[in-house]
Structure 1
Amino acid sequence: MMTQDEVDLVLTRLSADCDAMTAALVDLEDHPGRRLLDGAQLSGVTLARWTAAKAQSARLWEDFERYRSILDRARQVRARRGRPGNPELTELTELLTGRVVERSTAAIPLPQRALTGPATRTERVTLPELVELMTSSYHEVAEVVADSEAIWSAFARRLDRAEDTARAARALADSLGLPDRLAAVSAELADTRLLAFSDPLSLATNTHQPDFCRVTRVEDDLAAAHTELRSLARLREDLAGQLARATAAVRKVATAEADAEAARAETEARIGAPRPIRLASALPALRRQLDLAARSGDRHDWPGAAEHLAGLAGAAGAALDRAASAKDSATALLDRRAELRGRLDAYRAKAARLGFAEDADLSSLHAEARALLWTAPCDLPAATRALNRYQKTLADKGLQR
């Protein structure tokens, strides 16, 4: 049996707990997440969890009423006398520590009943046990409410920004005559918004944080579409300028190809082998692309014009590279001949220093190499072999001295 002081101490603590529970339950009822969950058309994971949480919330209030009812009874017993006697202390001990809280009554399954036993089973707990059960239920309900509100808020901010971008992009698309340009990403944005507000908990990570993967994809698609539309708008405003720049690029290719052809012709006149490669002109294809771009612009087909201009820019760059490479290849053959001529002169000067200026073998080999190198068109492989024979013979004679 509890003493008077123990009873008063427990009653004080339970009264404070009752006030705290009242405030916590009211805060849970008034939480923005609770209002959102009650007002939304839920689906999926959120619907399942909120259905269970709502049942627990209702059970919480029922348990709270049981708690308060037992506490009120204990207060009434304690108020009977300033100094409670044994009857009051016995009753208070039972109320404050005994299994006096009746939570539920359930039918006992037929196979588990005794022939003379009861047909129902009543769950009874102590006040501390009741508080422990309520605390567990409270945390479960609060988690669903708080997580839903946090995910809603996080997605709402990003989805609102995405919708702003979509509106600007749609206005631009309409002005360009491309109303369907954003159909797919707009539908995805709408689906994502619907999911975020009907089933927010399906968009949470294992750590209860918002999983933004889906909305990030929508944002990326919107940004790409908006960037493309802005580019098309710039093209519309400056079509003449872009066509002029494309025309200049085609002229530049024409000049580069002409330079490459001139170098090839010059080299072909002077070098017989190997023959310089004739460059296949890119100009016909480039001019077709330029014409298609201009026609697309005339039809206000801005995506078509952009595609042709982009293709032309890439092809023109590649054509310039090919023309420069062809010119370099042609002039490289002339440079090779000049190098071989210089080496032949250097070997002959060395032969003179070694006293072989009148050597018949070297004179014959020199004449052969010189004839090949100074005859047009020049056979570079044959001249190289003749030069190598001259150099080897000179080296051998030098070693014999």
Structure 2
Amino acid sequence: MGLTLSQIDRLLTDWQQKSDAANRNLLELYDLPAYQRLSGSGNPPSNVTGTTQQQASTALTAIERLFDYLELFNRQIDRACRLRKELPSLFISDSQLQEIEQLLLGLSIELPEAQTPLAQRDLVALERQTRSISLEDLLNRMMVAFAIARDTFVAVEIAWTELESKLIVTHRSLAELQQLAQNLQVDVPPSLATAQANFTDLQLQIDRDPLGLNLAFTQDLTPLIDNARRELESLAQQRQQLQADFAAALPSLQYLRQLDRDSIAAYTESQSKISHGLPTFSSIPSEEIAELERWLERLKAKFAAGTILAVRVGLTNWMQKVQAYTVAATAALTANRLPIDTRQELRGRLDALSAKALAKGKAEDPILMDLATRARAVLYSSPTDLNLAIDLVGQYERCLNRSLTC
């Protein structure tokens, strides 16, 4: 049993809506700047190459086929609509309804196929074979062709738009990195030089292969720029660290000088006020400290000229040398102060022991009095015989302790 009139009307409405949508979408695709440039609508087509040329060729073939399909599609629907309008209001025959049904659902559209090569034809074969398909089959073919064309032209449109933005951003990035290299007074890194050369080439090719260039930006150019940025930013950080190290270098050298002066002063005082005392240590030779100053000035000059890596190594060695001298100077100062400090400690000890003897009623003990008198005479004489002073204070303490236990 065939379709009723109401069913045919619903089908016609549905196909008309699909036809309207197809026409709108195809016109919107036609208006894409990428399609206009690639197809040459109104102007010579863009002379694209590479990936863009391959995909654009397929897309242009698809859209050409799509226009042919759309013409068949619209013609079939128009024919069905015309037959529907011609139907009488009463006494509609089944054959009239079947004719419209065949147009809408049957294999009623003759679709020309590709030309058959002569080698594959027999005597009565036609040059071109045709096949009949339904309106639904034709719509499916149209949708496949539209998807191919849409995806390609939209991708090209996006690629051109993105490339314009990428060109601006990349140009700015390259300029910033070039300026950073100049500020650091270093040679342009090889990765940056390669990126600049590639960027110049890509600028010339942007209109010819946007799809290929978009990929080249991601795979080739961006990693080069990232590598150059990391290298230069690392140098910038090293430069900042060197500036901080240089700022700390002079105070550390001044501190070393002061340590050495204090050590010499302590040594001189110990030599003049102490005899037969603990050993003392000499200071760092003045020529060594002067050489450290000259070395630092040479490093500063190289740094001002833009040398970073070698200066970093040199300054590290310089700081290690200063640190070693500082440790030695600190030890010398401590050793040179020790005799004077020891004498002062002995004076305090003797006073404390004398006070203890007084408190215990032993202050007038003849032996203790003699030891105290002799110890004070030695401790307050110059130069002080430190060994003798140590011995006398020790005797006084032992004698006092014995007297307290008796």
Contact 2:59 2:148 in 1 (8 A): yes
Tell me how far 1:160 sits from its aligned partner.
Answer: 1.5
Q: 2:10 aligns with which of 5, 8, 13?
A: 5
Tell me how far 1:11 sits from its aligned partner.
Answer: 1.1
Instruction: Report the equivalent of 2:27.
Output: 22
Is 1:58 equivalent to 2:60 in the alignment? yes
How many angstroms apart in 1 are the aligned matches of 2:319 and 2:137? 87
Instruction: Report the equivalent of 1:126.
Output: 137
Query: Deviation per CA, 1:124-171, whole angstroms, max 9, x where unpaired?
Result: 772453455356535643674366346534532332123434665788
C-alpha distance 220-291 of structure 1, shift in aligned 2 (>3 A): closer
How many angstroms apart in 2 are the aligned matches of 1:332 and 1:342? 17
How many angstroms apart in 1 are the aligned matches of 2:48 and 2:400? 99
> Percent identity between the aligned chains?
16
How many angstroms apart in 1 are the aligned matches of 2:78 and 2:105? 14
Structure 1 unaligned blocks of 5 or more: 108-119, 230-241
Tell me how far 1:306 sits from its aligned partner.
Answer: 12
Q: Secondary structure at the match of 1:80?
A: helix
Is 1:275 equivalent to 2:275 in the alignment? no
C-alpha distance 391-8 of structure 1, shift in aligned 2 (>3 A): farther
Contact 1:14 1:71 in 2 (8 A): yes
How many angstroms apart in 1 are the aligned matches of 2:72 and 2:177? 59
C-alpha distance 351-74 of structure 1, shift in aligned 2 (>3 A): farther
Larger of the two Rg values belongs to structure = 2
Tell me how far 1:3 sits from its aligned partner.
Answer: 0.7
Tell me how far 1:67 sits from its aligned partner.
Answer: 3.6
Instruction: Report the equivalent of 1:110.
Output: none
C-alpha distance 347-53 of structure 1, shift in aligned 2 (>3 A): farther
How many angstroms apart in 1 are the aligned matches of 2:280 and 2:115? 102
Q: Secondary structure at the match of 2:103?
A: helix
Instruction: Report the equivalent of 1:115.
Output: none
**TM-score when scaled to structure 2?**
0.57
Instruction: Report the equivalent of 2:266.
Output: 263
Which stretch shows the higher mean deviation, 301-310 or 127-136? 301-310
Amino acid at match of 2:67: E
Contact 1:170 1:182 in 2 (8 A): yes
Contact 1:155 1:196 in 2 (8 A): no
Amino acid at match of 2:23: C
Amino acid at match of 2:163: W
Q: Secondary structure at the match of 2:169?
A: helix
How many angstroms apart in 1 are the aligned matches of 2:309 and 2:351? 58
Instruction: Report the equivalent of 2:206.
Output: none
Which stretch shows the higher mean deviation, 194-203 or 73-82? 194-203
Tell me how far 1:15 sits from its aligned partner.
Answer: 1.5
Is 1:350 equivalent to 2:348 in the alignment? no
How many angstroms apart in 2 are the aligned matches of 1:377 and 1:39? 105
Tell me how far 1:255 sits from its aligned partner.
Answer: 6.6
C-alpha distance 283-78 of structure 1, shift in aligned 2 (>3 A): same
CA RMSD of aligned residues (A): 6.1
C-alpha distance 351-127 of structure 1, shift in aligned 2 (>3 A): farther
**TM-score when scaled to structure 1?**
0.58
C-alpha distance 379-20 of structure 1, shift in aligned 2 (>3 A): farther
How many correspondences in the alignment?
Answer: 347
Contact 1:204 1:211 in 2 (8 A): yes
Q: 2:70 aligns with which of 59, 68, 71?
A: 68
C-alpha distance 349-227 of structure 1, shift in aligned 2 (>3 A): closer
